[in-house]
Amino acid sequence: MRLIYVCVLVWLVTACTAAAKPSLYQQLGGEVAITKLVDGLLVKIEHDPRIVHHFKDTDIARFRSKLIEQLCHISDGPCQYTGSTMQESHTGFQITAADFDRLVQHLIDVMTELHIPLDAQNELLARLAPMYKDVTYR
């Protein structure tokens, strides 16, 4: 009987220590890291003459806030995204596939600079990828 209790105890300890994989939000580093990610992305956009023109009439403070909110939400963080849909907010911008790719490269560069693990980078990119059709001009 004692052996059964020991086996159950070992199973429980093993099951508890094999904790669930952290959420993408946690893997990215939570609110602080997502804020740094967005701020770094904004700097890259500001210094990129190929895409900065798309942001000339943008309220950057609002854009920053909504992007932080969106990345938090899409990564399973504690945020609710309250902004417009991607299609609504990008209509009329004539964003090309090259523009989109450029922005994605900046995002990758910032994630790398922040030492975000490659698996987390890939997961975030996979979650953002479906937005491509709503952002780019067809």
Count other C-beta atoms under 10 Å from residue 62's C-beta.
10
Q: What Rg value do the Cα atoms of the chain yield, rounded?
A: 20
- Tell me 51's DSSP state: T
Q: Of 20-24, 27-31, 40-44, 67-71, give the lowest mean pLDDT range.
A: 20-24
Rounded-to-integer distance, Cα 43 and Cα 110, Å: 10
Of the candidate CATH numbers 3.40.50.280, 1.10.1060.10, 1.10.490.10, 2.40.128.20, the domain formed by 22-135 belongs to 1.10.490.10
pTM assigned to the model: 0.82
For the chain, the domains span: 22-135
Highest mean pLDDT among 26-30, 83-87, 92-96: 26-30
Mean pLDDT over residues 98-103, rounded?
Answer: 95
